[in-house]
Amino acid sequence: MREKLLWGIVIFLAIYMFIPWLITRIWGIGVFKRGKVRREIAFTFDDGPDPIYTPQLLDMLEKHNVKATFFVLGSKAEQYPQIIKRIHEEGHQIGIHNYVHASNWLMTPWAVKNKQIKRSADIVESITGTRPSYYRPPWGILNLWGFFLKFEYHLVFWSVMAYDWRSQVDKNKMKNNLLHSITDGSVILLHDSGDTFGAVRDAPHYMLQALDDVLEEVKLRNFQCVRIDEMIHYLERNTPVQLILSRPKQLLIFSWMLWEQLFIKIFHIVAIDRDNPLLKVRIREYTGNQIITMEDGEQIRKGDRVVELHFDNRILFQLSIDAPNQMHLAIQIIRKTEQLMPQINKLIQNDPLFHDVKGLYGISLIHRGTKKLGFSVIDLPKGAFSFLTQCYLRLLLYVLHPQGKKRLQSKPELLVPKIIAISKKELMNRYILSETNL
């Protein structure tokens, strides 16, 4: 009985604490850690406001004409409202960092939401008139229920950490660390207070010395310093059509995307092109009993190595939002896929990992127009696998398409998953590499 209780506690702690930490801190799933715009970076400051160091920091940011994001503690905002007011009036963004600097692991979900985040947001709103909607948990630690905060707050982590709370990190070491680490889209974590647990009280003094030089250098490198809300809403600013989704649909989409990112990590699925990540691939043995015979006569049999194709569903979702109709969406997908085919051919010819593959293979509801790209479109054999695949892909359509329910009801007979495949031979003949691509 004691052993079962012990295992129960271990499992609970793993689910409540460790797995959310692994998903967010290590894999960065479900949280914002990095921007997507070249030469754009964001400086963020935690644990303040501090009566000594925050005003000095604000003076420095004004000197360099830089806007930043402050994740403040509600208790300190309550204590120093004039500093909060100054942060807001000078055009910086204010986010929440809990009411006190305590770990979310040691609190219930209700305590985190109401006593830490909501209470802090109420305080900031009463001072500035603007309610914060961005949240960074202390130490970057979320419990299991922290994921549901995503529907009220943007969860913001970081991609560059200067370890500026330590006494042994002097000005030069910190400066070199930052300048070496900062790159396109970096979200930089710094602290304008040193009185939280584990920090050195005068650590912000050395941070400010280093930051002065760093801000000068990033300006010379043509980096633009932006607030987190400006960075995180880049795609929204460039999206012509915005759809208002219900909370249940938002939850469903978020859960699906979370699962998909885990799947990609676990099975080592990689994008063909980081700048056009619509198609992702992995190399695997074909395990089906059905012999796939393509139009050029080539066959894929059980045990053959194939390049398995996967669409990036985040991009499909964005494309479906932007597309005025289904035809336009299909054209966009085909065009983006066509742009990637020569790169896949290049991989197959030049990468040793791909040398013995028989061809490209996938199962999809999106198969209209693929014959123009050289793919053979083949029916799935009737049976349990075909039925389950159809259920899965229809569920995927419902989740990811803004009008998925309507689409399922209007023409369900057309929503039949099929195998799409192209042999290595056909791929090489159709997408001949030029000398510049070799």
46 is catalytic: yes
191 is catalytic: yes
Please, which residues have CB within 8 angstroms of residue 89's CB and are 6 or more apart in sequence? none
Residue tagged active-site, from 46, 47, 164, 192:
46
The total of other beta-carbon atoms located within 10 Å of residue 211's CB is 27
Q: Which amino acid is at 207?
A: M
Rounded Cα distance, 341 and 264, in Å: 21
Residue tagged active-site, from 101, 154, 191, 401:
191
Rounded Cα distance, 278 and 348, in Å: 18
Residue 162 vs residues 68, 95, 173, 180, 283: alpha-carbon distances, Å: 16, 20, 9, 11, 38
Count CA atoms closer than 13 A to 335's CA, side-chain side: 7
Alpha helices in 239-325 (DSSP H): 247-266, 313-322
**What secondary structure does DSSP assign to 25-93, as a single string?**
IIT-TTSB----STTEEEEEEES---TTHHHHHHHHHHHTT---EEEE-HHHHHH-HHHHHHHHHTT-E
359: phi > 0 → left, psi -120 to 50 → alpha, else beta; which? left
Query: Which contacts (CB < 8 Å, 24+ apart) does range 322-328 have?
Result: 322/239, 322/240, 322/241, 326/407
Q: Which amino acid is at 384?
A: A
Rounded Cα distance, 213 and 385, in Å: 61
Residues noted as catalytic:
46, 191
